[in-house]
Structure 1
Amino acid sequence: MPPSMSVSTSSSKVSSCSQFVTVVSKCTVFPDRESTLGDLKLSVSDLPMLSCHYIQKGGLFTLPNHLSLPSLLAVLKKGLSRTLSRFPPLAGRLTTDADGYVYITCNDAGVDFVHANAARISITDVLSPTDVPDPVKEFFAFDRTVSYQGHFRPILAVQVTELADGVFIGCAANHAVTDGTSFWNFFNTFAEVCRGATRVSRPPDFSRDSVLISQAVLRLPDGGPKVTFSLDAPLRERIFSFSRESILKLKGKVNNRKWTENEGIDVIELMGKQSNDPLKNFLRNSNAKAAEISSFQSLCALLWRAVTRARKLPASQTTTFRMAVNCRPRLEPKMEAYYFGNAIQSIPTFASAGDVKARDLRWCAEQLNKNVLAHDDRMVRRFVEDWERDPRCFPLGNFDGAMLTMGSSPRFPMYDNDFGWGRPVVVRSGRANKFDGKISAFPGREGGGTVDLEVVLAPETMAGLESDSEFMQYVSGC
């Protein structure tokens, strides 16, 4: 696609899509250079996501003083076109060959760019309510679109929504093509390019030579897979914020230590998303360090206990806490840090409701800690072999009423994006992949170890969580 055709000239006026947000226009943006990248085979970490919704995340920004809205849209379209040349898979489409293998064809087919208006909504309207307000869900394209549809629809869509005093830049990306690491690398590169960068600081790696690339075939039903959770169940969604101080206190309690304000959150955090082999080897050889529970595991244990109490589960019922872990640093040899695609596996930790409620925070955190430390190269390969024996889509949901699924990561650089007029005021997500028990961890805007938990629960469970004194004592402002 030649540079002169990097943005299509066609656009359409669209009627109001909700009582809050009106789609003003829509066009296709193409890469500013023709792709030379060949087809990329979906891996055993990509293929299970074909039944999941597109990832929907984005940032709320104040309005730039130096740009009119038409100029702002032009900057974003041009920057997106240039960024797509660095991320050719996002401008492609999914294809399935005669043998059933699914590929990303980097054919420069382009992405959707949507301009929407929500002039009756202000930044305060987004930030001030207790629950995440419904209009936020309209700040994203491809609402509840299943990733398999990437065979027929763009792999990426960018929606720019005008607010009364701000602008929301939301991206919807096919989850069979990107995980959180790849998504935020694209989003931050998009911002970097819009600021005028000629070289990106974190070039993506498109290699397909790891153990994740398999000869196993995922057989899909006619028309493609469906999501495995209810789309109509009543839910509440709330952001719970945790300050540096409260997390230090929580970690101190879990580790039976007194922490000071001068002490770091974790010199090297034992999070599934970021743990690395040297750290793991060090911990295995150090009884003192191996006994230490990370701040994030402490926070997960706190939530696990509180939600289990709020659900009023019988003591004999098995509860499950799932955590997504990054396989890139766990494999031997390690994958590139910015490998583009999914390189995640879901680790379940099981415990009876009676144990979760009766035992202390440290015990719950230890169960999570042991599973994270055990997920090494051998375990990653075992998960791959298990999937190859039974290729399947990922069963996302809360099937027995006793599950929690932790996604995203407070280590993702969600606030390290500046399109030319400052960092986001806040990061939010859309309606995608939301069900009772889905939790997403975000960094707090202040940094320094602050964490925001996006918690989605049944209304009666959320009410119980809000009245849980052990949990709420650590929540900022409560």
Structure 2
Amino acid sequence: MQDHQYYLECTKHKTRQDLLLLVESCGLCRVAVSEICGSILSSMAQTSSVRVLDSFHVSPPPGSVPTTSVPLSSFDLLWFPLRHVERLFFYKFPHPTSHFIETTLPLLKQSLSLTLQRFYPYSANIMCPQPPGKPYIRYIDGHDFIDFAVAESAADFDHVVADYPRDVKLLHPCVPRLRSAHVNEDGVRVLPVIAFQVTVFPNTGICIGSTYCHAIGDGQSFMQLMRSWTSVYRSVGDLSCLDENSRPLFNRDVMKGPGGDMESDLYNIYRQWLSSCGENSTSTQDLAADKVRATFVLSRAGAERLKHLVTAADDKHQCHISTFVVTCALMWVCLIKSKEIVTNNSSHDDKDKFYHFIFSFDCRNLLGFSIPTTYFGNCIIPGCISIKKSEAIGENGIIFVAKALGQRIKAMGSDWTDNGAKSFEEMTKGQFIGVAGSPKLRVYDTDFGWGRACKVELTHIDYDGATSMTEGRDGQGGIEAALALNNHQMDEFVTIFEQSLKLLSV
């Protein structure tokens, strides 16, 4: 048998599927195929070194925003303990690094600075006083800023943005580091909000990476910033390109608290987090050496087929059926089945054990009062479902899970406070498989003038086993889901995913 180096040399521009076909054509067994592909992909990942070229502080223009404080709402409190959100936008950029530094970087910094006049909370800090004090956003003119780094990568851009499984660590050098929290002289914990890093892949691509604290706002709020920044960049710094009616609304008075036990639970979450020294995603965690990351695409036609199957099974019309719902069901069932295989769990004794799933529920239109689309902050709460193993891996597991998820979403829509409280209660039961992101965010529409993003990734899911979800990058109504698993489970997941689509005629 020829050695791994031969395969590496002759396949360095191939996809994982090409690699599989090549080695299988040599008559190798599945284990050998997996080992060789792992060796190839590992070797390719070794070229992913990133060199930081420069770093800057970016803030609103001096005097453009007065020193200001903004309270957080009770809906923001839930998100303090969560890992910071890490989102990467990749673009084709066929220019050398020198071209980027000379012609692109100055306008990127200037346009971000101008955009922060409207979105100054991102250049502020979150102040966390000890109870009974409540957290708030504070911006000090001439003092606060965003960290903005510029780096260069030697990695193969096409490999980095591929869908096939590749080393999970490949993307993380593009993720900016957010400054650590500190405690000031008054005993108030001070949290930086966001950091950016632009990574250039010479002559091939560019990545705009962001890391931000979820307590500042949800995905809708972050995408308000990104859409405005891209508009100002494309207009070469002309702020008249921004619609006056699209100004972010920071007034928390429009967000009436949930009241009762749920509001008390939210403040308890904040107090408990603060009492544990405010530990969250600012702490680093090693990624497993054998972990790989992949993206799975469900076409619009496939999603419609799945929705039709669930609708046919929902004779009492109790479910909210959407592309998001059926995609979550498909991914979750494939995850359960792949986990059961890799753990060699063939016993039927635990058929009644539960798997727990958590998702974010947008309650903007369900609070009983009007929330402007420009509201800046968190307007999402967690929803949870629990499914028995036997139900998930059964013949109609995907349809069963989709119905359960659709029923929970519909129930939360009719009484979100009651069902939100139930979700908090269920969150104490054990470990969850979660989903991050949403196709509603339209992340692929983010265009600085280099064209639509060619890939958008959420890398914080690599640590906790969650799935991320975005709209399809082709704009044809499909959906993308990404996740990180160890090599063995990923191989099983890919097989089960493809088999499921065939069995469902998707």
Relative to the length of structure 2, the TM-score reads 0.74
How many Å apart are 1:385 and its aligned residue?
A: 10
Distance 2:502 2:250 in 1: 41
How many Å apart are 1:429 and its aligned residue?
A: 2.6
Match of 1:13 in 2: none
Bigger Cα displacement from structure 2, 111-120 vs 72-81: 111-120
**Please, which of 115, 136, 143 is the counterpart of residue 171 of structure 2?**
136
After superposition, give the CA deviation of every residue in 1:377-424 in whole Å (9 maximum; x if it has no partner). Answer: 63236637997xx9xxx979x954xx3101211121101222122211
Distance 1:146 1:241 in 2: 38
After superposition, give the CA deviation of every residue in 1:335-376 in whole Å (9 maximum; x if it has no partner). Answer: 222311111111110121011122523222111011101113
**Please, which of 242, 248, 255 is the counterpart of residue 311 of structure 2?**
255
Judged with a 3 Å threshold, the aligned counterparts in structure 2 of structure 1 residues 62 and 386 are, in CA distance, closer, same or farther, namely closer
How many Å apart are 1:145 and its aligned residue?
A: 6.5
One-letter code aligned to 2:84: Y
Alignment of 1:383-462 (within 5 A): 383=420, 399-400=430-431, 403-430=432-459, 432-462=460-490
Distance 2:312 2:422 in 1: 40
**Please, which of 70, 92, 102 is the counterpart of residue 102 of structure 2?**
70
Secondary structure of the corresponding residue to residue 473 of structure 1: helix
Match of 1:280 in 2: none
How many Å apart are 1:38 and its aligned residue?
A: 3.6
Give percent identity, aligned residues only: 24
After superposition, give the CA deviation of every residue in 1:272-309 in whole Å (9 maximum; x if it has no partner). Answer: xxxxxxxxxxxxxx988656732321222222222222
One-letter code aligned to 2:172: K
Judged with a 3 Å threshold, the aligned counterparts in structure 2 of structure 1 residues 145 and 65 are, in CA distance, closer, same or farther, namely same
How many Å apart are 1:168 and its aligned residue?
A: 0.8
Judged with a 3 Å threshold, the aligned counterparts in structure 2 of structure 1 residues 170 and 291 are, in CA distance, closer, same or farther, namely closer
Distance 1:433 1:295 in 2: 21
One-letter code aligned to 2:298: F
Question: Does structure 2 conserve the Cα–Cα contact (< 8 Å) formed by 1:126 and 1:133?
Answer: no
Secondary structure of the corresponding residue to residue 467 of structure 1: helix
- Give ranges in structure 1 of 5+ residues lacking alignment: 1-17, 258-285
Question: Does structure 2 conserve the Cα–Cα contact (< 8 Å) formed by 1:324 and 1:344?
Answer: yes
Match of 1:357 in 2: 393
How many Å apart are 1:31 and its aligned residue?
A: 0.3
Matched, 1:83 2:127: no
Match of 1:375 in 2: 412
Secondary structure of the corresponding residue to residue 140 of structure 2: coil
Judged with a 3 Å threshold, the aligned counterparts in structure 2 of structure 1 residues 369 and 423 are, in CA distance, closer, same or farther, namely same
After superposition, give the CA deviation of every residue in 1:24-67 in whole Å (9 maximum; x if it has no partner). Answer: 11110110253247422222332222222221113111226796
Matched, 1:22 2:22: no
How many Å apart are 1:92 and its aligned residue?
A: 0.6
How many Å apart are 1:436 and its aligned residue?
A: 4.5
Alignment of 1:15-414 (within 5 A): 20-32=49-61, 33-36=63-66, 38-63=68-93, 68-97=100-129, 99-108=132-141, 109-127=144-162, 129-131=164-166, 134-142=169-177, 151-152=189-190, 154-164=192-202, 165-196=204-235, 197-201=239-243, 202-209=246-253, 210-212=255-257, 216=267, 218-219=270-271, 220-221=274-275, 223-226=277-280, 231-232=285-286, 234=288, 235-256=291-312, 293-312=321-340, 314-358=350-394, 360=396, 361-376=398-413, 378-380=415-417, 383=420, 399-400=430-431, 403-414=432-443
Question: Does structure 2 conserve the Cα–Cα contact (< 8 Å) formed by 1:59 and 1:427?
Answer: yes
| Matched pairs, number | 422
Distance 1:171 1:381 in 2: 34
Distance 2:487 2:196 in 1: 31
How many Å apart are 1:143 and its aligned residue?
A: 6.5
Question: Does structure 2 conserve the Cα–Cα contact (< 8 Å) formed by 1:53 and 1:145?
Answer: no
How many Å apart are 1:254 and its aligned residue?
A: 3.0
Secondary structure of the corresponding residue to residue 468 of structure 1: helix
Judged with a 3 Å threshold, the aligned counterparts in structure 2 of structure 1 residues 76 and 127 are, in CA distance, closer, same or farther, namely same
Judged with a 3 Å threshold, the aligned counterparts in structure 2 of structure 1 residues 135 and 178 are, in CA distance, closer, same or farther, namely same
Judged with a 3 Å threshold, the aligned counterparts in structure 2 of structure 1 residues 395 and 89 are, in CA distance, closer, same or farther, namely farther
Question: Does structure 2 conserve the Cα–Cα contact (< 8 Å) formed by 1:332 and 1:377?
Answer: no
- Give ranges in structure 2 of 5+ residues lacking alignment: 1-46
Judged with a 3 Å threshold, the aligned counterparts in structure 2 of structure 1 residues 118 and 473 are, in CA distance, closer, same or farther, namely same
Question: Does structure 2 conserve the Cα–Cα contact (< 8 Å) formed by 1:212 and 1:384?
Answer: no
Secondary structure of the corresponding residue to residue 309 of structure 1: helix
Would you tell me which structure has more helix in proportion to its own residues?
A: 2
After superposition, give the CA deviation of every residue in 1:246-282 in whole Å (9 maximum; x if it has no partner). Answer: 222322333349xxxxxxxxxxxxxxxxxxxxxxxxx
Relative to the length of structure 1, the TM-score reads 0.78
